[in-house]
């Protein structure tokens, strides 16, 4: 049998979420609305944080980075998916697929570290309020965020290189709606156990390490909150963390489900539905979680709206 390596495959056929024309049209409308919500919600959050001086603090600086990540993260798959939902055949070039995989991993890894930084920021704010301005000053925050982006960039290179070097033996049909990292692994005509070991090992670092930071931070946060004497004080302290805690629970839960287990050779609808959930879900609800549940953000948004109406 003639062996084909990755470079011999010039394009991939994506099966998408459905092959029924009526369903594909409905999905086009749904995902178009979702993408518009993602763009508008995150752009509004970024704009409010930049224009409102009262929000020029470490927490909102981290939220701006998270919003930028969410816009880029959703843009990895949705802009390419939308037009193809109206076409009979859905294809993507090999280079386009490689770019999707790299960008997806880069942004996902970076977001993991940003979420752990937000948890650490809340830990310092609640447990060391008098020293917060010194411990979380501008240079330190810039270094932490820069390290997260750099870690995402560097840690995404090796997995992508190993996946793209897998011999595919001419197989180019992907049972997914975008080039998710495990999709090419399923097309390989060789034993992918080493790749799976590398995926799990990488997952321990890029998933479990941030999770450990978040869990430890919240253990200390909850301990500090329980020592607050007034109910109002405890409620206020917990409200600053609740949005982030809800978000990371959903994101890490789905990520661990996908990447911290052996990759099945055949993809099923359940796996694709989970992929839809973690690909478009967090970028869509993050702006609302961090704004609607945040008193400072709501006040800042109302203030900006009044200023625009006056002028």
Compute CA 36 distance to the chain's CA centroid, rounded to the nearest angstrom.
17
Kindly report the CA angle at 136 between 55 and 116, in degrees rounded to 5?
90
CA atoms within 13 A on the CB side of 152: 23
More confident residue, 291 or 53: 53
pLDDT of residue 286: 83
Q: Where are the domains of the chain?
A: 6-310
pLDDT of residue 293: 63
Residue 176 has pLDDT above 60, yes or no: yes
> Given pLDDT bands bounded at 50, 70 and 90, which one contains residue 2?
very low
Winning range, highest mean pLDDT, from 25-34, 91-100, 185-194, 227-236: 25-34
Kindly report the CA angle at 137 between 135 and 138, in degrees rounded to 5?
155
pLDDT of residue 300: 77
Distance of alpha carbon 286 from alpha carbon 67, whole angstroms? 8
Distance of alpha carbon 142 from alpha carbon 136, whole angstroms? 10
Residue 21 has pLDDT above 90, yes or no: no
> Given pLDDT bands bounded at 50, 70 and 90, which one contains residue 193?
confident
Distance of alpha carbon 158 from alpha carbon 42, whole angstroms? 30
Q: What is the pTM of this model?
A: 0.85
State percent of the chain over pLDDT 90: 22
What does each C-alpha distance from 155 to 184, 191, 261, 266 come to in angstroms? 18, 23, 19, 27
Lowest mean pLDDT across 71-75, 83-87, 98-102: 83-87
6-310: CATH number: 1.20.1070.10
Residue 238 has pLDDT above 60, yes or no: yes
Lowest mean pLDDT across 54-63, 71-80, 288-297: 288-297
Helix (H, G, I), strand (E, B) or coil at 255: helix
Distance of alpha carbon 85 from alpha carbon 19, whole angstroms? 9
SS3 per residue for 159-217: HHHHHHCCCCCCCCEECCCCCCHHHHHHHCCCCCHHHHHHHHHHHHHHHHHHHHHHHHH
Q: How large is the average pLDDT for residues 196-224?
A: 82
Residue 98 has pLDDT above 80, yes or no: yes
Structure tokens, 268? 């099923």
Distance of alpha carbon 17 from alpha carbon 108, whole angstroms? 22
Q: How large is the average pLDDT for residues 261-282?
A: 70
Helix (H, G, I), strand (E, B) or coil at 128: coil
Structure tokens, 153? 């960039």
């Amino acid at each position: 049998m003639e062996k084909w390596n990755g470079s011999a495959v010039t394009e991939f056929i994506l099966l998408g979420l459905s092959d029924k024309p009526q369903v594909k049209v409905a999905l086009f409308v749904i995902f178009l609305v979702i993408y518009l919500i993602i763009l508008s919600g995150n752009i509004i959050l970024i704009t409010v944080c930049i224009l409102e001086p009262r929000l020029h603090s470490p927490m909102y600086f981290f939220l701006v980075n998270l919003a930028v990540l969410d816009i880029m993260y959703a843009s990895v798959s949705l802009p390419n998916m939308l037009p193809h939902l109206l076409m009979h055949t859905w294809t993507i070039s090999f280079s386009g697929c490689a770019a999707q995989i790299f960008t997806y991993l880069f942004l996902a890894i970076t977001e993991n570290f940003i979420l752990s930084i937000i948890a650490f920021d809340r830990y310092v704010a609640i447990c060391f309020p008098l020293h917060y301005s010194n411990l979380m000053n501008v240079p330190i925050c810039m270094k932490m965020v820069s390290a997260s982006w750099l870690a995402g960039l560097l840690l995404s290179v090796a997995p992508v290189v190993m996946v793209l070097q897998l011999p595919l033996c001419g197989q180019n049909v992907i049972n997914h709606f975008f080039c998710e990292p495990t999709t090419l692994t399923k097309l390989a005509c060789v034993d992918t156990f080493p790749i799976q070991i590398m995926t799990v090992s990488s997952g321990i670092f890029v998933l479990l390490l941030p999770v450990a930071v978040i869990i430890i931070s919240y253990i200390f946060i909850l301990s500090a909150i329980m020592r607050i004497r007034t109910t109002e004080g405890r409620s206020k302290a917990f409200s600053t963390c609740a949005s982030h805690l809800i978000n990371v629970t959903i994101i890490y839960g789905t990520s661990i489900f996908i990447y911290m287990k052996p990759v099945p050779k055949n993809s099923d609808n359940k796996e694709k539905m989970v992929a839809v959930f973690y690909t478009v879900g967090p970028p869509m609800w993050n702006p609302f979680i961090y704004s609607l549940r945040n008193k400072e953000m709501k006040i800042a948004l109302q203030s900006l709206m009044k200023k625009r109406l006056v002028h």
